[in-house]
Amino acid sequence: MPLELFTEGDPIADTKAPMDVPIGERWSERKFRGRLVNPANRRKLTVIVVGTGLAGGSAAATLGEAGYNVKSFWYQDSPRRAHSVAAQGGINAAKNYRNDGDSVHRLFYDTVKGGDFRSRENNVHRLAEVSVNIIDQAVAQGVPFAREYGGLLDNRSFGGTQVSRTFYARGQTGQQLLYGAYQALERQIAAGSVEQNARTEMLDLIVVDGRARGIVARDLVTGEISTHFADAVVIASGGYGNVFYLSTNAKGSNTTAIWRAHKRGAYFANPCYTQIHPTCIPVKGDYQSKLTLMSESLRNDGRVWVPKERGDTRDPREIPESERDYYLERLYPAFGNLVPRDIASRQAKNVCDEGRGVGPGGLGVYLDFAEAIERLGRPAVEAKYGNLFDMYAQITGEDPYAVPMRIYPAVHYTMGGLWVDYDLQSTIPGMFVIGEANFSDHGANRLGASALMQGLADGYFVLPSTISSYLADGPFDKVDDSHPAAVEALRGVQEQTQKLLSINGTRTPASFHRELGQLMWDLCGMERTDEGLRKAIDRIREIRQEFWSNVKVSGDWHSFNQTLEHAGRVADFIELGELMCVDALHRRESCGGHFRAESQTPEGEALRDDENFAYVAAWEWTPEGQPPVLHKEDLQYEYVHLAQRSYK
């Protein structure tokens, strides 16, 4: 690969996990060895938390209740509008309520295997351990999980597993869990331990003497740009799936917080690992602004199929069973429709590429509930999935009780994110990263219902136990807005803001975003090739140059200005998009959601290259014009042995 695309730096390693004890004891041992902060000293310490989704909301509430002074920042009008509210299907936990063979070890195994052996064993095992506590926490908060007739919590299955470990609240699990975290957060706001900063967006990180000491933020209503200081900074700003423009993410979801932190020295790990969700409502038009997810839980009872013959445009109800191809059940008899998301998505693409797709443009497959309705009865299906069916009917104008749903893969989640160690601390001391904003738990593919698990595990249980080791050295020297580092960061944000407003070109930020997104989807989406990625990198560089010479941002920065907000976010997406393509190009293997056409088995499955690529790719930002630096963290598998994934 040409050297101008990147250079290779020193290896990186996580040194925080206690490797001298068995994996099942490492989290307990880390907590024991960690340093503590006594309650009186906690009152002297301040922590900034950026984001109020499941990770950020739970972290701010827990740290506030522990006695720290917390400053919470979010760009929505209410914490309840964080994108976690949109999660539908459930949250995993190794409770084994169904007595079907589940355990902490099995959840650990399924997650490492589901991530195609590209995640850290230590972090994943801790996640599996903590999962059992999350459910108890949520129930105590009043989260209305579904229950069986006898009153016990109900479970259902999700892709990549053969047990039922997913707890759910109809198709509103994220909303209900977020409300639990929100109530805990509001309690601390009322108690005075958490300071709220609504409609405020982080635009830079303030680093003093190598430590994260604050942020630069813009009030999205008044336009005021200001500095805020603390002893530590926690970023919980979510993922970067909107780099593709069309995704299941909320329109406001962006990469700015983690990208600006990356440019201050935080390594960005595995940016090319993005998840394509197989169960989304297909794109309807060229000017659609986002996509809508249909929960993976629907694959418990819905059967995925396409016509056996190409070009069969008959009403699906007129196509007899003998002329249908239930391709997931045929290809993967052991897991059937509950294969992991990357596999289900890729097979949907394959049958559509063969000309057997359904709906407009042939970009869709059927998700059929006829058999489930006949077997269970319509009332039982309505009880399980009614709100999802209603949402589908409102969006498409079709009745999914009478006609099969049409679904197609779409960008959903990002497994990449800022690099963190076992303590969830980034390469910038004092800056911790939690939830989807970090890379730590999912490898190259996230199992369904594990995002809510990780967000709450990080916020409620992991971060509060690890950040104390860092804060035990505090409080640190006082920093205010006169400090040179704060002055420089504030000036940089102001200058970029003024530059965006002064260009006065002919293209809107949305037009650049749409073009970038289509390019990323076509060339760095479900399938990547050497030729396509090189083409994408060249074009992204051209888009970046045109953006900074021809974007038009109307209005001013002293008031509410959503075009200005979008322009700043698109500028970051353009830079991130290039790094994603460089990362995908350098990783000459297929693993999980990263599928290189040049690296596949004879059956068309992802073919890993463990000898050369069993590592985390942690990228270091370099000044403009210089190639990024790649630092490798070797992955060791002691408890789940490397093997070709098979769900057959």
Question: Which residues are designated catalytic?
Answer: 341
Per-residue b/e over 143-156, b at no fewer than 16 CB within 10 Å? bebbeeeeeeebbb
How many other CB atoms are found less than 10 A from the CB of residue 402?
A: 11
In the numeric block, the tokens 């960061």 are attached to: 489
Distance CA 606, CA 115 (A): 12
Distance CA 119, CA 635 (A): 7
Spatial CB neighbours of 408, under 8 Å, sequence gap ≥ 6: 280, 281, 282, 283, 348, 352, 357, 363, 364, 365
Give the bridge partners for 631, in sequence order: 618
**Of the candidates 566, 572, 549, 570, which has an alpha carbon nearest to the alpha carbon of residue 621?**
572
Distance CA 168, CA 178 (A): 13
Give the bridge partners for 468, in sequence order: none
**Of the candidates 227, 232, 618, 236, which has an alpha carbon nearest to the alpha carbon of residue 431?**
232
Helix axes 173-191, 54-66, angle to 10 degrees: 30
CA angle, 396 as apex, 391 and 397 as ends, to 5°? 95
Identify the sign of the CA torsion 632, 249, 72, 58: negative
Distance CA 450, CA 457 (A): 10
Distance CA 592, CA 432 (A): 26
* Conformation bin of residue 99: beta by default, left when phi > 0, alpha when psi is -120 to 50: left
Distance CA 390, CA 60 (A): 34
| DSSP conformation letters of 29-54 | HHHHHS----HHHHTT-EEEEE--SH
Give the bridge partners for 591, in sequence order: 594
Give the bridge partners for 432, in sequence order: 234, 425
Mapping DSSP to helix (H, G, I), strand (E, B) and coil, where does residue 458 land?
helix
Would you say 509 and 568 are in contact if contact means Cβ atoms under 8 Å apart? no
